[in-house]
């Protein structure tokens, strides 16, 4: 099944590689949520509100753990964790994978550096209107930067995983510069 999904995702990626729109707009308030999550192979309850109390949050949705694009994207976020932390930001990935899968993914692709949440019932994905149009059982690849007041200041949607980390990091850096003025 994952091979079929990968083939479909690959085809969709080619068709939407230039897409840069996301389901929620800049300026929208991010819907609050809690979800079972995994960090370094340990399960806990992720709370957006609690994370925002500490600083901005980079929330990214991905289609499926252990697929090539999702693993590459998670690896890239893991490699940039210190840069996000230096800006006071928390990174959280969300997919419809069950918590058992996320426990493994958090140690392997995420290298134990940031959490991934299980949204098996799709409630978070629905609240962010982040379901894949042609395959609604999967999250679309969309990234948001959310400030502590729950404002979405940046969003990016593309099935190509290559620019999500770079773009969200740049958005955070720009936000940090404007805050200090």
**Which pLDDT belongs to residue 15?**
35
Annotated active-site residue in 52, 57, 70, 109:
70
pLDDT in tens, 51-75: 999 999 999 999 999 999 999 999 9
Confidence (pTM): 0.88
Here the tokens at position 108 are 């392997």
**Residue 137 CB partners (closer than 8 Å, separation 6+):** 96, 122, 131
Contact 69, 61 (CB under 8 A): no
Q: What is the Cα–Cα distance from 158 to 132, expressed in whole angstroms?
A: 11
| CATH architecture under which domain 2-179 falls | 3-Layer(aba) Sandwich (3.40)
**Which pLDDT belongs to residue 2?**
47
Contact 117, 124 (CB under 8 A): yes
Q: What is the Cα–Cα distance from 122 to 130, expressed in whole angstroms?
A: 9
70 given a catalytic annotation: yes
Contact 1, 67 (CB under 8 A): no
One digit per residue, pLDDT tens: the chain, 181 residues? Answer: 544 444 444 434 333 333 344 579 999 999 999 999 999 999 999 999 999 999 999 999 999 999 999 999 999 999 999 999 999 999 999 999 999 999 999 999 999 999 999 999 999 999 999 999 899 999 999 999 999 999 999 999 999 999 999 999 999 999 999 887 6
Max intra-chain CA distance, the chain: 51
Domain boundaries, the chain: 2-179
């Amino acid at each position: 099944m994952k091979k079929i999904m990968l083939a479909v995702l690959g085809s969709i990626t080619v068709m939407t590689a230039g897409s840069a729109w996301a389901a929620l707009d800049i300026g929208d308030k991010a819907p609050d949520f809690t979800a079972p999550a995994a960090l370094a192979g340990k399960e806990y309850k992720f709370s957006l509100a609690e994370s925002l109390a500490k600083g901005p949050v980079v929330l990214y949705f991905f289609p499926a753990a252990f697929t090539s694009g999702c693993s590459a994207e998670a690896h890239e976020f893991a490699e940039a964790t210190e840069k996000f932390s230096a800006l006071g930001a928390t990174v959280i990935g969300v997919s419809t994978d069950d918590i058992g899968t996320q426990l493994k993914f958090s140690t392997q692709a995420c290298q134990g550096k940031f959490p991934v949440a299980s949204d098996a019932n799709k409630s978070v994905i629905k609240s962010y209107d982040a379901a894949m149009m042609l395959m609604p059982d999967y999250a679309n690849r969309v990234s948001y930067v959310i400030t502590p007041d729950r404002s979405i200041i940046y969003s990016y949607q593309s099935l190509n995983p290559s620019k999500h980390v770079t773009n969200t990091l740049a958005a955070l850096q720009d936000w940090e510069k404007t805050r200090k003025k």
